[in-house]
Structure formats: structure tokens, C-alpha cells
Amino acid sequence: MPEADQVTRPAPGIWVLRTPGSAYVVSTGGEDVPVAVHWGAGVDDATAVALAAVPPDPQRASWESPLDGREEYPSDSGLRFAEPALAVRFPDGQRTVRWQPPVDEVVAGDGWSELRLRFHELTRQLRLTLHYRVLDGLDVVERWATLDAGEPLEVRRADSAAWCLPRRDGQRLSSLHGRWGAETQVQRTTLPAGRTGLGSRRTTTGPAHNPWFAVDDGAASETAGEVWSVALAWSGTWHADLEVLPNHRVTARVGAGHEEPLAHLDAGGSFTTPVSVGVFSDGGFGGASRAWHRYAHHVMPSGGETRPVLYNSWEATGFQLDEANQLALAERAAAIGCELFVMDDGWFGKRVDDHAGLGDWTPNPDRFPDGLGPLIKHVTRLGMRFGIWVEPEMVNPDSDLYRAHPDWVYATPGYPRHELRNQLVLDVGRPEVAEWLHGWLDALLSGHDIAFVKWDMNRPVTDPGPGPQWAQRHAEGVYTILDRLRRDHPGVRFESCASGGSRVDLGILARTDQVWPSDNTDAADRLHIQEGFSLAYPARAMTAWVTDAPNFLTGHRLPLRFRFHVAMSGVLGVGGDLNAWTADERAEAAQLIALYKQIRPVVQHGELHRLRSPRTSTAPALAYARGDEVVVFQWLHRHRFGEPAPPARLAFLPPDGTWVDAETGATFPAGYLRVHGVDAGLSRDHDSAVTVLRRRS
């Protein structure tokens, strides 16, 4: 059952939602939909009532609205000038909606409590329900909305939530931006007056912006200060519009879709938005990240598991794979301690390059004359599990599938189509396409001992054709297929990949066990990519490979130890050509993999503390803490002026106790580690170290 007093109603029209470290207060003190009263540190009921009585903007000019920046779900009509969260049109052209006073309901389930505020439109057959949910032990507020139509209407916009942020001086926006090969780059900038837009029109979450952002007063640090952050649990097109209003209030509207209309509803139709999630932390960006990580572990279907060390054969063989070279690589991978062998692209149809074969998901008979069975059995005998790469949403025009069903792809009739990577995108929103897609994947998993599926998507949709909901139907189609596969094959684990990190969000993490943050595996670049990733998502969800040097993308030549230490701060994988590694390199890899297996419970399930950022330091460092064990990672990316890297201070440790270095046996008082830190002796370019500390009982 949920914890007591998670949702209270201290006075008529005032509701308080509580998490372990925050409170969220709304009231009906506005025109019709609720207004935001407080989102921040915990408050008691009496304080909530007093805050609800504070009048809005007494110096407001006649040009301004008392509602703007305060409403939890503003429409696009009435005394409102800010961007709306809801916009509808009825067949007669009416756009105005006004709501009768809400009927409230508090419901509780296993570990959660939910406030539902139900509204009826004054003159039309339309109902709106605003949902607010809090979860036991987690510092999050989940919000979403439901529209139920009693008559036809067009939904031009229906956001998940409008988040009204407290007024602070110098509001600063933190977001994760990027492109292919450079995803989740941290950007911090003062919020300008007016609108700032984030989003994606690329079918998926997209590489340009991640659906997460944070706002602070410009003074928050990694360890201190108030931070408000918001995410959208959605893997399709999306938008987040932040607005600094003339009254200096800041509001952020977050939702699915990127252009209107969003949906057409018939009488009896319903539309439910994705969930948007909010986190408040008074422990700086680090405190906010740890709250997000705990929430992600709750959302992920296997969040309590420890992920295996995988080997992926792509960079070793590319498209030129066959049973013999996969067997040879599997022998090498098992010898260095890998636990999961993943065969990548090129195993099916006529897939000898990227021009053909997508859609024909049966083993290539020239490469696998007896099917996949012999390879899988051999991998299993080596003590590993078997995984496989698929790109289910795609088709090559040169494929049996396309020749049989050319109408299954996104295209605009009568117009030339656009091909990227010599492939087209299947319309997964069509029931017959979704059923076919699920069918062959179900057969593949039913007929083989496959433990892991890497689900890739290497191009966005173009030429989607008519209809307002194609992007939503596509994302929901992918969700439905994954949900069915997980239900029917509970032992199979899934990884989300989309040309790298173009489908990384809480929506896909509710259905997959890990995600691929970027095709860029250069360790120096990954320090930046992985730092941004860690602001919102945990190490347990982040696949990180050790690949060959020089790297295919950057050309950087980095020591094997440095590459391993970067990848070991997430879910460790190996993607290099093991046949080209020297005996010494394979021996070193085996030692580092053995070390990772010792520390991965702390890395994958511990709490992250970012100690020095690669954006501001040539010697970045971070630590994971779990119980009486701490794992410290330090890198010296670039050596300057003969200066060694400074020790990594562990200010997060409790002030008492003694800690022991697991490798050297040296002991340190907690105060020493908090004030002086861990000195790993890094003094040359690309030095790196992992230090394991255990608290002495």
C-alpha cells in the first residue's frame, strides 16, 4: 500500500502531493483549471493553505493576465496570452473551452497514490481529467491528461502537463543537445525572455534534443542548490516549450507531437497523453540525477538485475559475417570473460551490404547453411548467452518483403519517395504491418535460444502521408510489439538503439533493459556523452563498448586501459576485433573484465556522484556508492605543464568511519577522503584508474 498522506486536501480546492523530499501544491484559485501554488521543499498543510492565499501579481498591468504562468493546464482561449497546453476545435469552429469546477478523486494502488481532477466543459460534450501521481520512496511527480469527447472535435494540442516553476532570479536552462555521434551534450544557458523550444520531428526522440531539461536560479552546482527538472516518457515526436513571461514567471509545456492537429476524435473517442515527470531537488544537479536514476530503475522492466558483459561482432566483421568467423570471435570473447555474444547486422536474407535484405528475416543460407542453431549451441557451450541484432521497422526496396508489400512503407502517393541508407520505414501504425512484425520476431525467439535482442532503427520517417496521428501510431505500435514480446518471452532482454542515441527516453526504458547512447565509441568523446546521459539516466541503462584504436569515427588512439575504464562506468561491452588484438591486449582485457564483474553491482545499482566534469576539467572523475562500497573512476585526458591530476574528493561520504583500498590495503579516515580525496597518481596523457574502497566495520 502507498505511504500515508502522500495526497492530502487541507482545504476545499487545495491539494498537496508529497514525495520524500518535496511537495507539490495545486488549488482551484484560478479561473477554471487549477493553478500551481508550490513546487519545492516539503510543506505542511497549514503552509500549503497559506501559500494558496497569496494573491497573484498585484502590480499587473491591463496588458497582462493573472493566469499566465500559474495555470496547470491552460487552454488557448480566454484571458490567456501564454502558449496553451490544450487547444481544440469543434466542427462549428468554436475553440473556446471553459470548465465547470472539478470533481476530485484520490485513488491508491501498490506503491502509488493518484489525484484525479475531472472537469466538464460548460456547454460542449467534452471532459478533461488531470492526473497527478506520486510513488513510494521516489522524489517524482507524474502528470498526464485525458480527453473524453461526447461529440466530434479536433485536438490541435494536448500536452502532458504545463509545469509552472517558482520565480527565481537568473533562471538557467540545462538541456541535452547533440547530433549523430555527439548525443546528450550538456548545455547550460540563461533562459531568455520569450519562448525556448526543444523537440523532435524525427519520428523518434531524436539526437538533437533529449526530452529532459532542468531549470535552476543560475547558482546551483553539482552538490548544492535548488533544481527543477522535467522529462517526457515518450519515444515519438515531441516538444517542450519553455516561456519566460513578461511577469518573469517561467512555464514549461511538454507533450507529444510537433505540429497540429494532434488527433481527430469522434463522439465517444478518447485521447490520453504520455506521462511527463517532474523532479525537485535541493541537492543540486547531483541530487536531481540520483532521483532520476531511482525513478528509471523503478520504470525499467528488469531494473533490479545486473547486466552481463557483452561482446558485439559488428566492428570485427561488418556485413561480411558467417558462421565460421562468428564462432572464432565467440571463442575469443569467452576467453576474455564476456558473458553475452551478440551477432550484428548481415545474418539474414541477401544482406551482404546496406542495399538489400532488410525485411527478409531468415538466416542467409550461404552464411548459415544449417540456420542459427549450430552457432547458438556453440556460444552456449562456451558459457555465454546469445544475442542478435534486428532492425524491425525498416525495409530495403531490394527485398522480398517490399516486393510483396510495397504499400506497407511510408510514402506520399504520386510523389518521389526519399530513401536514406537505401531503406524505407514500415508503417508500424498499420495493424497488418504490426502483426507481421511481431510474428517473425516471435517466431525467431520461439525457435532459438536467444537471450538478448538489439533493436535498431537507422533512419527517421519521411513522406508520412495524410493523417494527423501517424507519429503517435508509430511509437505506440513499437510499444505494443515490445510489450507483447516481453510478455511472451520474459527471459529475453532488449536494447534500444536508433543510429546511436536517437531513441533514449523514459518511454522506451519502460520496455527495454538498456539503451545505446551513441555510435561514437571514442572513449574521450564518450566522457562527454556519458556525462550528459547521466543527468537523466542511470549507468544500469547505458551500454558502453570498448572498441579498437584508432577509433573509426575520431581517429583517436587511446590506451586499452583508458578505453576500458570509460566503458566500465556503464554496462560494459566489447566491440573491437578480438582477432586483431595482441595476446597482451586480450590478457589485459580479461583482467579488466574480471575487475568489472567485481564492481558492477556498485556501478549498475549504486548512487552516482560526478566529481569533476570533462567539460571543465582535463581530469574528469566520478564515483558510485552502494552500502559500504565506493568505486572511484579517474581519467587524465590531457596532461598539461607536468601537473598531476588532483585527488578526487569524496565529499559525499559520511564524516566518520575508515575506508580500505581493496587493492592496496591502505586505510583512510573518512574525513581524509572527504577533504583530500583519492590520489590515483595520474600524471601522463590518458592515464586512468579505478579505485575500490570498502568501509571497515
Q: Domain containing 674 — which CATH number?
A: 2.60.40.1180
Q: Do the Cβ atoms of 395 and 426 come closer than 8 Å? A: yes
Residue 2 lies in a domain: no
Per-residue pLDDT at 639? 82
Same domain, 540 and 652: no
Picking from 90-94, 125-129, 258-262, 541-545, which range would have the lowest pLDDT averaged per residue? 258-262
Digit-coded pLDDT (tens) for 179-193: 999 999 999 999 999
Q: Domain containing 251 — which CATH number?
A: 2.70.98.60
Grid cell 481544440 is found at 88
What is the pLDDT confidence band of residue 414, given thresholds at 50, 70 and 90?
confident
Digit-coded pLDDT (tens) for 609-622: 999 999 999 999 99
Residue 615 lies in a domain: no
- Residue at a domain's end among 299, 325, 346: 299
- Residue at a domain's end among 256, 274, 299: 299
Extract the C-alpha cell encoding 561.
Answer: 586501459
What is the pLDDT confidence band of residue 259, given thresholds at 50, 70 and 90?
confident
What is the pLDDT confidence band of residue 586, given thresholds at 50, 70 and 90?
very high
Which of 513 and 464 is assigned the larger pLDDT? 513
Q: What is the mean pLDDT of the chain?
A: 95
Q: Do the Cβ atoms of 146 and 272 come closer than 8 Å? A: yes
Catalytic residue among 76, 456, 505, 525: 456
Same domain, 13 and 154: yes
What whole-number distance in Å separates Cα of residue 622 and Cα of residue 570? Answer: 12
Digit-coded pLDDT (tens) for 528-541: 999 999 999 999 99
Per-residue pLDDT at 334? 98
Per-residue pLDDT at 148? 98
Decide: residue 220, CB within 10 A, 0-12 exposed, 13-18 middle, 19+ buried: buried
Per-residue pLDDT at 3? 66
What whole-number distance in Å separates Cα of residue 327 and Cα of residue 386? Answer: 12
Mean pLDDT of 35-47: 96
What is the pLDDT confidence band of residue 4, given thresholds at 50, 70 and 90?
low
Domain count, the chain: 3
For residue 100, give the amino acid letter: Q
Same domain, 161 and 37: yes
519 is catalytic: yes
Same domain, 631 and 573: no
Q: 132-137: long-range contacts at Cβ-Cβ below 8 A with a sequence spacing of 24 or more?
A: 132/7, 132/15, 132/17, 132/24, 132/26, 134/6, 134/7, 134/17, 134/18, 134/19, 134/24, 135/19, 135/111, 135/295, 135/298, 136/2, 136/3, 136/6, 136/111, 136/112, 137/3, 137/20, 137/294
Q: Which domain holds residue 434?
A: 310-605
Give yes or no for residue 1 having a pLDDT over 60. no
Per-residue pLDDT at 2? 62
Residue 276 lies in a domain: yes
Q: Domain containing 338 — which CATH number?
A: 3.20.20.70
Peptide bond into 550 cis (omega under 30): yes
Which of 646 and 61 is assigned the larger pLDDT? 646
For residue 543, give the amino acid letter: T
Query: What is the phi/psi pair of residue 488, to 5°?
Result: -85, -20
What is the pLDDT confidence band of residue 261, given thresholds at 50, 70 and 90?
confident
Helix (H) / strand (E) containing 623? strand 621-626
Give yes or no for residue 549 having a pLDDT over 80. yes
Per-residue pLDDT at 292? 98
Structure-derived torsion over alpha carbons of residues 330, 331, 332, 337, reported in degrees to the nearest 10: 90
Per-residue pLDDT at 195? 94
What is the pLDDT confidence band of residue 467, given thresholds at 50, 70 and 90?
low
Digit-coded pLDDT (tens) for 342-374: 999 999 999 999 999 999 999 999 999 999 999
Give yes or no for residue 641 having a pLDDT over 90. no
Same domain, 202 and 291: yes
Give yes or no for residue 413 having a pLDDT over 90. no
- Degrees, nearest 5: CA angle 190-192-194: 150
| Per-residue buried b or exposed e for 274-303, using 16+ beta carbons within 10 Å of the residue's own CB | bbbbbbbbbbbbbbbbbbbbbbbbbbbbbb
Catalytic residue among 159, 241, 513, 519: 519
Same domain, 157 and 204: yes
E strand intervals along 353-466:
385-390, 394-395, 424-425, 452-455
Share of the chain above pLDDT 70, in %: 98
Extract the C-alpha cell encoding 684.
Answer: 601522463
Digit-coded pLDDT (tens) for 325-349: 999 999 999 999 999 999 999 999 9
Q: Do the Cβ atoms of 205 and 232 come closer than 8 Å? A: no
Digit-coded pLDDT (tens) for 133-143: 999 999 999 99
Same domain, 625 and 689: yes
Same domain, 191 and 263: yes
584 is catalytic: no
Mean pLDDT of 50-64: 81
What whole-number distance in Å separates Cα of residue 215 and Cα of residue 285? Answer: 10
Nearest to 8, CA basis, from 51, 49, 53 = 49
- Strand, coil or helix: what is 43? coil
Residue 614 lies in a domain: no
Q: Running DSSP on this structure, what letter comes out for residue 440? A: H
- Residue at a domain's end among 572, 605, 638: 605
What whole-number distance in Å separates Cα of residue 640 and Cα of residue 684? Answer: 9
Q: Do the Cβ atoms of 171 and 193 come closer than 8 Å? A: no
Q: Do the Cβ atoms of 614 and 527 come closer than 8 Å? A: yes
